[in-house]
């Protein structure tokens, strides 16, 4: 029997339920959970999506996965949480949970007595994480982000964990990989679900595809098929899979922020390769005066790009994958 929170499944069973989370201000949320226990022993893979509520291809891919997998074809167990941040999903909230205006994927491992996001993170790490041997978190560009598909993986202090993580990434089917290590500069994944799982020595990935508030089939299929590939790699499902024909591996995730509140005019495209000092965009005021010329600090590839012209001071404009800084 496998039990996650109050939901239990015997060998060969599929069970559906919800995780109930409440804060100290009268707010509560229900997080859907599907538990599928195979007929034979094997790994326990946890697949999550909707940590950011407006990243729809990952949500749909996780829903399809939870519906498609049946116990008698599964070796091991599958835990699927297809919409982790349900309050953000139903309020169509970009980045943050409406109950506390915090980014859930920046507060892990959470707090038992914190705000809503912190309690959700704590609940997941206490109730779900101890049951898991492998972890995949499905993401994409949020409602105002264009995105080039990529995978995030984080190095640990155990080579055997890193080896499994790399194998999962290489067989997912997304060619661009961001490998974060202690030597990496730029964005490090601090406070994210997948980094907290990696810190527990669980092979973990973030897999990203889609964006701009679109539920598009190519991105959904990419994430769904990639997750199925991982299950085959881990021996949870039978069937063939192919390693990515080429892999583009970056080691530094350089994010560029606005220095001013103003109107953002991008002069670059997501997926574009850029050079140091290349002009990528401008921040202008209402009269058209340029407040900031945005240039690339590195050579690399634009992995995500904010599509909204409305920009606050300190707002993220884009993220560039770089091999060297």
If we measure between CA atoms, which residue out of 318, 324, 263, 316 comes closest to residue 292? 263
CB atoms within 10 A of CB 248: 14
Q: Are both 100 and 36 inside the same structural domain?
A: yes
pLDDT at res. 158:
96
- Extended strands (E) in 140-285: 145-147, 150-154, 176-180, 204-208, 248-250, 252-257, 262-266, 273-274, 279-284
Q: Are both 269 and 256 inside the same structural domain?
A: yes
If we measure between CA atoms, which residue out of 30, 14, 3, 122 comes closest to residue 73? 14
CATH at residue 74: 3.40.630.10
Q: Are both 146 and 119 inside the same structural domain?
A: yes
pLDDT at res. 63:
98
Domain span at residue 256 reads: 251-322
pTM, to two decimals: 0.96
| Domains identified in the chain, total number | 2
Q: Are both 212 and 261 inside the same structural domain?
A: no
pLDDT at res. 182:
87
Q: Are both 44 and 81 inside the same structural domain?
A: yes
Report residue 71 as tokens.
């116990």
229/236 Cα distance (integer angstroms): 10
Q: Which helix (DSSP H) or strand (DSSP E) does residue 58 occupy?
A: helix 56-68
Looking at the DSSP bridge assignments, the partners of residue 3 are: 8
Per-residue pLDDT of the chain (325 residues; tens, 9 = 90+): 888 888 999 999 999 999 999 998 899 999 999 999 999 999 999 999 999 999 999 999 999 999 999 999 999 999 999 999 999 999 999 999 999 999 999 999 999 999 999 999 999 999 999 999 999 999 999 999 999 999 999 999 999 999 999 999 999 999 999 999 989 999 999 999 999 999 999 999 999 999 999 999 999 999 999 999 999 999 999 988 876 667 899 999 999 999 999 999 999 999 999 999 999 999 999 999 999 999 999 999 999 999 999 999 999 999 999 999 9
Say if CB 263 and CB 287 are below 8 A apart. no
Q: Are both 223 and 260 inside the same structural domain?
A: no
User: Where does a domain end: 249, 272, 288?
Assistant: 249
Q: Are both 132 and 202 inside the same structural domain?
A: yes
Say if CB 147 and CB 208 are below 8 A apart. yes
If we measure between CA atoms, which residue out of 27, 19, 22 comes closest to residue 3? 19
Which positions ≥6 away from 160 have C-beta within 8 Å? none
Cis, bond preceding 109 (omega within 30 deg of 0):
yes
pLDDT at res. 140:
98
User: Where does a domain end: 210, 234, 249?
Assistant: 249
If we measure between CA atoms, which residue out of 192, 89, 181 comes closest to residue 137? 192
DSSP category for residue 186:
B
- In the chain, the N- to C-terminal Cα span, in Å, equals 49
Q: Are both 191 and 229 inside the same structural domain?
A: yes
Cα–Cα–Cα angle for 4, 108, 3, nearest 5°? 5
pLDDT at res. 21:
96
User: Where does a domain end: 199, 222, 249?
Assistant: 249
**Token pair 């810190």 in the structure block, residue:** 199
126/79 Cα distance (integer angstroms): 15
Q: Are both 294 and 307 inside the same structural domain?
A: yes
Q: Are both 233 and 288 inside the same structural domain?
A: no
**Token pair 């990528």 in the structure block, residue:** 280
Q: Are both 135 and 207 inside the same structural domain?
A: yes
pLDDT at res. 245:
67
- What is the 3 state secondary structure string of 205-239? EEEECCCCCCCCHHHHHHHHHHHHHHHHHCCCCCC
Q: Are both 222 and 278 inside the same structural domain?
A: no
CATH at residue 281: 2.40.50.100
């Amino acid at each position: 029997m496998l039990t996650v929170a109050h939901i239990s499944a015997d060998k060969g069973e599929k069970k559906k339920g919800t995780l109930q989370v409440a804060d100290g201000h009268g707010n509560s949320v229900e997080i859907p959970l599907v538990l599928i226990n195979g007929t034979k022993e094997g790994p326990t893979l946890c697949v999550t999506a909707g940590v950011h509520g407006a990243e729809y291809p990952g949500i749909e891919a996780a829903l399809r996965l939870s519906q498609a997998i049946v116990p008698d074809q599964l070796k091991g167990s599958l835990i699927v949480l297809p919409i982790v941040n349900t309050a953000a999903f139903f309020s169509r909230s970009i980045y943050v949970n409406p109950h506390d205006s915090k980014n859930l994927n920046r507060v892990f491992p959470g707090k038992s007595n914190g705000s809503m996001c912190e309690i959700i993170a704590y609940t997941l790490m206490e109730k779900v994480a101890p049951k898991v041997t492998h972890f995949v978190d499905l993401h994409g560009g949020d409602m105002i982000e264009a995105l080039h598909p990529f995978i995030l993986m984080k190095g640990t202090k155990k080579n055997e964990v890193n080896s499994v993580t790399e194998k999962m990434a290489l067989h997912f089917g997304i060619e661009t990989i961001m490998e974060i290590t202690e030597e990496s500069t730029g964005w490090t994944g601090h406070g994210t679900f997948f980094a907290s799982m990696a810190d527990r020595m669980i092979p973990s990935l973030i897999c990203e595809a889609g964006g701009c508030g679109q539920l598009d089939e190519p991105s959904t299929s990419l994430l769904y098929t990639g997750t199925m590939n991982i299950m085959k790699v881990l021996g949870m499902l039978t069937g063939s899979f192919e390693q990515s024909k080429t892999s583009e591996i970056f080691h530094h995730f350089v994010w560029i922020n606005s220095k001013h509140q103003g109107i953002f005019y991008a002069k670059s495209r997501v997926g574009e390769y850029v050079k140091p000092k290349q002009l990528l965009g401008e921040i202008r005021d209402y009269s058209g005066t340029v407040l900031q010329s945005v240039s690339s600090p590195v050579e690399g590839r634009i992995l995500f790009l904010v599509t909204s012209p409305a920009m606050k001071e300190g707002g993220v404009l884009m993220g560039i994958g770089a091999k060297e800084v």
